[in-house]
Amino acid sequence: MKTFIPNQYGTIRLFIIMMILVFFFIVPIVRTNAVEVGDVIYFEGFESANTLKQNGDVTFARTKDYAATGMYSLSVAPTAANNYSGVALRNDFLETPMLPGGKYKLTAKAFSAKDATLGVRVETKDSSGGNTYGIVGMVKAPLAAGQWVDVTMNFAVPADHESVTAIVFHNDDQIPDLLFYLDEVKLEVTALPEPVEEPELTKVITFTFDHKTKEENLFTAASSSKLEWIKAAGIGKNDDTALQVTHISGKTYTSYDNAVRLTLSEPLPAGGIYHISVWFYAPTAGNEGKDTLTGPGVVLNDEYALSEFKLPSNFGTLPLDQWKEVNVKTPMMQKPLKTIDFRLVVNDDPKHADLWYIDDLIISQFGDLKEIVIPEWDLSLPSLTDTYKDSFLIGNVMSANQTMDAELTAMFKRHYNLVTAENDMKPQYLSPAKGKYNFSNADALINWAEVNKIKVHGHTLVWHSQSAPWLTTDTDGKPLPRAEAKANMKEYITNVAGHFQGKVISWDVVNEAFADGSGLPSDWKSALRKNSPWYLAYENGADQSKGESGADYIYDAFVLTRLTDPKATLYYNDYNETELWKREAMAMMAEELNKKWQTDKRNKQPDRLLIEALGMQAHYWTANLDIKAVDTTIARFVKAGVKVGITELDIPYGSYSNQHNKPLTKEEELFQARLYAQLFEVYKKYAANIERVTFWGKADSQSWRAKGSPLLFDRAFAAKQAFYAVIDPESFLHSK
């Protein structure tokens, strides 16, 4: 048995071993590094360092507080706001990575001072490139207070999966104030993958950036960067040429706005899987004062909204003065590959390089092209908007880059009369830095909607995620004082809601402010997400003697939006809204803040509520969608006196812990369709109280939950049974 332990001396040790072998045998040793059953490919005892990485929102550090052996362990304090936060063993960190078809055994020692549970799961990319979370391997280890517990997980990686991403130790039960410790983490090979014959790799395009005249028109810089073809001694990866990218002072650091786009002179055909290798470099000179730089990646065909086209999934860091390769395989392209964006995957100034280089770009094709079905929308189908014209608006999402697709536009106009920007109106994209606003993508979407007579819903103004750090934190990442955060909120909402005044009919003013919990909250404020940057900033300087708290940011956000855009309907929006805990908290919040608004001197419309609607995101699963709970939730919101919006509807097949990753069978598609029919029976029942029903995605292939086939149209854009269930739910349920 051999042990492969990554550390700073690994390369030196390997070199010495190889030199000794050569010295004694004088011939090459073919299998010096071949992995065998029983090999330990990872071990961490935390005595000298920690090699586990952050996963989600967590605080972790080596500590002497407790140790199973030796003096040190790793303390981990994940948030309870989600169930994935913790620490991860990243596969791309391993010298000998986990492989599809392999079998492995993970062991670790875990400790908690209180009774608790610790989740451990394997994350992979399945055969379609979708992310899996625990279906390959998952354990939930009970931790008895004050005792070190042995954690063991045996798992087999399916041979048809693309890759292993990580093993994550996480707060699966979302236990508040969980603090656990890890020691003696070990990963062992228990079975090797069967040999697989790799398809032939055919090089199709190469750029070494030494043919400026011929190639420079193929590369373009986004709005915040500029390009220069550099020729200087040693500047390139292996030669004297490279493409230099420089951030333009005063411009946004949003990843999209600093990307370099290659527009291929001849698009690579659909039906192909392509390999992309490209090298990135950031020098110390020109990047003074930066934090650790976030790593590089690529985006295919401008599909920033879909994870399968944003590669790699783990982009890591970009060390200064070192060339780093991005080496990725695309999914099978259902459309020709027309553009590739090269970018640094971060939106913040401290972690985004001001000066960086690209070199040695090679694009190859895996094997032969496959025959694919070209997706095509059927415009002869019954119209969703016509079907529900007397009930509520029917909406869907769009991105600015999709507005140029004439066929997609024709389909959208037929079925939808309301659009929500999937990403382009979120804070991090509109204002990544104080005083800097970029409305270009959002304006393109607004203009498209106006031309096509489609109403617009604004999403979203205040959110703990995909927000801009300048709003709530200082340069050290600490919460701003309450007064400063409040002033920033006023600046942001005044600028953004003011810019779109009269162009949107409604706003998600605050998004996902509540944590997940259980039971019936006695006070809605107790159910809030206490680790939200907005909550923390408003808590920093709150005068409790005056009744101030971190929760006050919610009221301020709604008031500022009402004063800035008085005609827009104002929503609070959240997920898991059918759970008793969150349902009651949302309703209680709306009731209390609407009552407070009635006596607010700034209220010039006493006949209107402040929070006029509660948004039900409706991100469900076929395995646990409770139709009765949906009915009960809508009824509770109606009782609170507000309107209701179904804001992000999709129903992937399976469950969160057992996610589906294959095309639906006829039986599975019918099961999903019946749930859609039952939902729309409820929506029709409350039509007088529901303003809109918005689907979160147009076809299964365009969904952020694509592998569960969650929508009304399949990957070929053909109508599924779910479409017909929505068109006529009563008849569908009667006949099926």
Nearest to 314 by CA among 50, 124, 597: 124
3-state secondary structure 667-686: HHHHHHHHHHHHHHHHHHHC
Say whether pLDDT at 8 is over 80.
no
Give the residues across from 110 on adjacent strands: 149, 182
Which tokens sit at 437? 């606003």
Region 684-706: mean pLDDT is: 95
Q: Is residue 4 domain-resident?
A: no
Q: CA 636 to CA 638: how far, in whole Å?
A: 5
Q: Is residue 372 part of a domain?
A: no
For residue 14, the model assigns a pLDDT of 34
**599: Cβ–Cβ under 8 A, 6 or more apart, which residues?**
none
Confidence grade of residue 456 (pLDDT, cut at 50, 70, 90): very high
Judgement on whether residues 227 and 168 belong to the same structural domain of the protein: no
User: Which pLDDT value is given to residue 19?
Assistant: 36
- CA–CA distances in Å: residue 540 to residues 6, 453, 486: 42, 45, 11
- The one-character DSSP state at 441 is H
Whether the predicted pLDDT of 3 surpasses 60: no
Closest listed residue to residue 392, CA positions, set 134, 183, 693, 641: 693
Q: What is the 3-state secondary structure (H, E, C) of 3-55?
A: ECCCCCCHHHHHHHHHHHHHHHHCCCCCCCCCCCCCCEEEEECCCCCCCCEEE
Which residues lie below 8 Å from residue 611, measured CB to CB, with a gap of 6+?
509, 558, 570, 571, 572, 589, 590, 593, 594, 642
- At residue 221 the predicted structure's pLDDT band, cuts being 50, 70 and 90, is very high
Where a domain ends, among 171, 191, 211?
191
Assign 348 to helix, strand or coil. Answer: coil
Cβ proximity of 180 and 80 under 8 Å: no
Span 146-168, average pLDDT: 95
Over residues 53-67, mean pLDDT: 92
Collapse the DSSP code of 716 into the 3-class scheme (helix H, G, I; strand E, B; otherwise coil) and give the result. coil
- Name, in order, each residue with C-beta under 8 angstroms of 425's C-beta and a sequence gap of 6 or more: 442, 445, 458, 459, 460, 496, 500
Burial of residue 127 (number of CB atoms within 10 Å: 0-12, 13-18, 19+): middle
Mean pLDDT across 188-215: 92
- Write the single-letter amino acid at 253: Y
Q: Is residue 1 part of a domain?
A: no
Q: Which pLDDT belongs to residue 60?
A: 93
Q: What is the CA radius of gyration of the chain?
A: 27
Asked whether residue 72 falls in the same domain as residue 123, the answer is: yes
Of 159, 191, 223, the domain-final residue:
191
Residue written as tokens 């209390």? 592
In a domain, 20, yes or no: yes
Look at residue 7 in the predicted model and tell me its pLDDT: 40
Average pLDDT for 121-126: 91
Clarify whether residues 361 and 498 are in a common domain: no
User: DSSP string covering 525-564, please?
Assistant: GGGB-TT-HHHHHHHTT--GGGT--TTHHHHHHHHHHHHH
pLDDT band at 22 (very low <50, low <70, confident <90, very high): very low
- Token pair for 256: 């999209």
Residue 376 belongs to some domain of the structure: no
- Asked if 116 and 210 sit in the same domain, the reply is no
**CATH value at residue 277:** 2.60.120.260
Q: For position 226, what pLDDT does the model report? A: 97
Domain span at residue 139 reads: 10-191
Using the predicted structure, report yes or no on whether residue 463 has a pLDDT greater than 60: yes
Residue 724 has pLDDT above 90, yes or no: yes
Q: What is the pLDDT of residues 308-361, one digit of tens each?
A: 899 987 788 899 999 999 999 998 998 899 999 999 998 888 999 999 999 999
How far is residue 186's CA from residue 52's CA, in Å, rounded to a whole number?
Answer: 12
What is the Cα–Cα distance from 694 to 418, expressed in whole angstroms?
8
pLDDT(5) > 50? no
The whole-number pLDDT of residue 322 equals: 95
Q: How confident is the model at residue 633 (pLDDT cuts 50, 70, 90)?
A: very high
Average pLDDT rounded to a whole number, residues 3-26: 36
pLDDT of residue 169: 98
The H-or-E segment that residue 347 falls in is none
Q: What is the CATH number of the domain that holds 449?
A: 3.20.20.80
Query: For 650, which DSSP code?
Result: B
Of the pLDDT bands very low, low, confident and very high (cuts 50, 70, 90), residue 430 is very high
316: three-class secondary structure by DSSP: coil
Among residues 191, 225, 250, the one where a domain terminates is: 191
| Nearest partner of 278 among 208, 346, 353, 366, judged by Cα | 208
What ranges make up the beta strands (E) of 273-371? 273-281, 296-300, 310-311, 324-329, 337-344, 355-366
Place of tokens 């920093």: 540
* Claim to verify: residue 600 and residue 694 sit in the same structural domain: yes
| Euclidean distance between CA atoms 672 and 712, whole angstroms | 10
> Is 374 part of a structural domain of the chain?
no
- pLDDT given at position 626: 97
Say yes or no: 354 and 395 in one domain.
no
> 47 and 110: one domain?
yes
Q: In whole angstroms, what is the distance from residue 239 CA to residue 499 CA?
A: 48
**391 and 277 within one domain:** no
Task: Kindly report the average pLDDT of the chain as a whole number.
Answer: 91
Structural domains counted in the chain = 3
Indicate if the pLDDT at residue 186 is higher than 50: yes
Residue 45: name the closest of 69, 22, 21, 64 by CA.
Answer: 69
Say yes or no: 316 and 390 in one domain. no
Residue 23 pLDDT > 80: no
Distance CA 120, CA 589 (A): 35
- Looking at residue 95, its pLDDT comes to 85
Q: How confident is the model at residue 278 (pLDDT cuts 50, 70, 90)?
A: very high
Say if 137 falls within a structural domain: yes
Instruction: Give pLDDT, residue 494.
Output: 98
pLDDT in tens, 556-612: 999 999 999 999 999 999 999 999 999 999 999 999 999 999 999 999 999 999 999
The answer as to whether 224 is a domain residue is yes
Residue 168's pLDDT band, with cuts at 50, 70 and 90, is: very high
What confidence score (pLDDT) does residue 150 get? Answer: 97
DSSP states along 376-397: ---TTSPPHHHHTTTT-EEEEE
Same domain? For 261 and 182 the reply is no
Strands 241-247 and 355-366: antiparallel
Class of residue 692 by CB neighbours under 10 A (exposed 0-12, middle 13-18, buried 19+)? buried
**Of 104, 176, 182, residue with least CA distance to 143:** 182
Question: What per-residue confidence (pLDDT) applies to 520?
Answer: 83
Residues 94 and 140 in one domain: yes
What is each CA distance from 308 to 125, 131, 331, 484, 659, in whole angstroms? Answer: 10, 9, 7, 39, 16
Residue bearing the bigger pLDDT, 131 or 612: 612
User: What is the per-residue pLDDT for 308?
Assistant: 83
Q: Report pTM.
A: 0.72
For residue 322, CA distances in Å to 1, 235, 236, 293 come to 34, 12, 11, 12
What is the percentage of the chain residues whose pLDDT exceeds 70? 95
What pLDDT is recorded for position 10?
A: 37
Cis bond upstream, residue 199 (ω within 30): no
Q: Are residues 276 and 164 part of one domain?
A: no
